[in-house]
């Protein structure tokens, strides 16, 4: 089993933030924060795998009290450079078991992070852990990519997802194990006529939307909405990602 805390090491923490660009771009981050603020409905929120605070910090600034759970000590240290424990309390631990309290109006897990859990059992445990910390009537929100298996050519086990100057992303699939490895190739400036490259690999367990819905049922949650993006655009067969909202019943208890 891959130790995810070692994947998100000091180098990853130091290079994770890209202010104003990529997933930190206002057009990406703005709708995410606004929708989560609405779903929290003036109650407290809990972010699983809070990382360096990409979403948590602007969500707190928007007016929602945010707590977090984070496995990587270097990522948490980077967050602490930007927000204190009093501002954003964080439990250092695994999002399948660690607890930050209970009675949260919102628990959320963004940017494909549930796929970092590499077994179905871990992913189900994550749902159950999230549900146990929700207040009755609260919601669990997941942002996740849709597996692009239709892009696989017959006899080929990989796809080129990104090809741009200085960067190449190739995904390779093991469809029997429902695993995908992302190969990140970053090309370095030429030195003495030679151009080097740095390769990083991140494993994932891909999850179909319908499988997520079953995990939610096992955790006592009900699917309320599914959008293609944070702007609430319609989810279709051609959507490459989705935002799914699961609600904990306002009355009754989990099995």
Tokens 């699917």, residue located? 223
Mean pLDDT over all residues of the chain?
A: 91
Query: pLDDT of 72-124, one tens digit each?
Result: 999 999 999 999 999 999 999 999 999 999 999 999 999 999 999 999 999 99
Q: What is the pTM of this model?
A: 0.89
What's the rounded mean pLDDT across residues 14-35? 88
Predicted local confidence at residue 13, as pLDDT: 77
Predicted local confidence at residue 10, as pLDDT: 78
Sort 203 into a burial class: Cβ within 10 Å, 0-12 / 13-18 / 19+. Answer: middle
Query: pLDDT of 118-143, one tens digit each?
Result: 999 999 999 999 999 999 999 999 99
The DSSP code sequence of 82-126 is TS-TTTS-EEES-TTT----S-EEEEEE-TTGGGGS-SHHHHHHH
Query: pLDDT of 42-51, one tens digit each?
Result: 999 999 999 9
Q: Is the pLDDT of residue 200 over 90?
A: no
Predicted local confidence at residue 4, as pLDDT: 55
Task: Please give the residue that has the higher pLDDT: either 190 or 112.
Answer: 112
Q: Is the pLDDT of residue 22 over 60?
A: yes
């Amino acid at each position: 089993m891959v130790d995810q805390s070692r994947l998100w090491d000091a180098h990853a923490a130091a290079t994770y933030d890209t202010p104003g660009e990529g997933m930190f771009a206002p057009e990406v981050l703005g709708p995410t924060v606004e929708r989560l603020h609405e779903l929290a409905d003036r109650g407290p929120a809990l972010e699983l795998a809070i990382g360096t605070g990409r979403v948590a910090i602007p969500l707190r600034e928007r007016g929602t009290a945010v707590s977090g759970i984070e496995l990587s000590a270097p990522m948490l240290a980077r967050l602490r450079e930007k927000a204190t424990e009093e501002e954003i309390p964080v439990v250092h631990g695994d999002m399948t078991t660690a607890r930050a309290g209970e009675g949260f109006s919102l628990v959320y897990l963004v940017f494909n992070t549930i796929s970092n859990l590499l077994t179905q059992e871990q992913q189900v445990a994550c749902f159950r852990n999230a549900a146990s910390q929700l207040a009755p009537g609260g919601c669990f929100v997941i942002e996740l990519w849709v597996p692009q298996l239709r892009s696989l050519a017959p006899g080929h086990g990989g796809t080129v997802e990104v090809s741009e100057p200085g960067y190449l992303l190739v995904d390779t699939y093991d469809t029997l194990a429902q695993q995908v490895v992302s190969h990140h190739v970053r090309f370095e400036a030429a030195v003495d006529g030679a151009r080097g490259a740095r390769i990083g690999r991140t494993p994932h367990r891909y999850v179909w939307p319908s499988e997520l819905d079953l995990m939610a049922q096992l955790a006592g949650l009900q699917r309320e909405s599914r959008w293609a993006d944070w702007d609430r655009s319609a989810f279709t067969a051609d959507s490459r990602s989705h935002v799914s909202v699961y609600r904990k019943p306002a009355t009754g208890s989990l099995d």
